[in-house]
Amino acid sequence: MNRRSSKDSRQNIIDAAQRVFLLHGYEGSTMRMIAEQAGISVGGIYLYFKNKEELCLLLIDERLKEFSEKIDAALKKIEDPIDALREYILLSIEYAKKHNEFIITQSREKGFTFGIDIKREFFKRQKEVIKGIIFKGINKGIFVNCNIEEATRVIMGVIRGFVLSLVVDPDNLFDARQCSELILSGLLSRSN
């Protein structure tokens, strides 16, 4: 039992948990698995985290924040609403490929409460981002004057469709580019 920096140990646990949750999901991951991956005892985890749930919630929070920052950074550099929306969809789908496990996490088993506040907050913010892009597009006369709320829901729904397809039918994923073009031409384009 070597003495290690508590900072390192904490990070080791976090990294290990990320890997284990990714492979096995929340319920399928045990603290023993995570401990092994982290190279620390199972009791040692509780020196840093209150419990399994807190550990997972922290990861969810981090990942979703990370995504939001990525999006903000990317959109800051894009002026054209068409390019912005296209970029949003593509980034979303790319991110989903890596972190879908935190979106479809066990909400049902915990009575829809597990991480639900974090996710709701996240969805709310993403919704505002999309609405902002659409609104700007309409103002510039690029997009049709549509129901922004509804268009936003469709876009988010489509991205979620990709997420779920990753999980249940990974051999049949639609093309991210074609999908963004569908939304641009079918939902928002003035060329109709």
Partner DNA sequence: AATTCATATGAACAGACGTTCATCTAAAGA
Partner DNA sequence: TCTTTAGATGAACGTCTGTTCATATGAATT
Residues that bind a second copy (CB under 8 A): 24-25, 27-28, 101, 103-104, 106-112, 116, 119-120, 123, 127, 150, 153-154, 156-165, 167-169, 172-175, 178-179, 182-183, 185-187, 191-192
- List the single partner that 141 binds among DNA, a second copy, none, CB under 5 to 8 Å by kind: none
CB 119 to a second copy: min, Å: 6
DSSP letter (8 states) at residue 85: H
The residues that touch DNA, with contacts defined as CB under 7 A, are: 1-6, 8-9, 29-32, 39-44, 46-47, 51-53, 108
Q: What is the CA radius of gyration of the chain?
A: 20
What residues contact residue 139 under an 8 Å CB cut-off, 6+ apart?
Answer: none
Residue whose token pair is 């492979």: 23
Cβ distance to DNA smaller for residue 9 or 92: 9
Q: Are 22 and 97 in contact (CB under 8 A)?
A: no
Give the span between the Cα atoms of 178 and 62, in whole angstroms: 30
Cβ distance to a second copy smaller for residue 49 or 114: 114
Give the span between the Cα atoms of 68 and 70, in whole angstroms: 5
Q: Give me the half-sphere count of Cα atoms (radius 13 Å) on the Cβ side of residue 167.
A: 16
CB 167 to DNA: min, Å: 20
- List the single partner that 65 binds among a second copy, DNA, none, CB under 5 to 8 Å by kind: none
- List the single partner that 164 binds among DNA, a second copy, none, CB under 5 to 8 Å by kind: a second copy
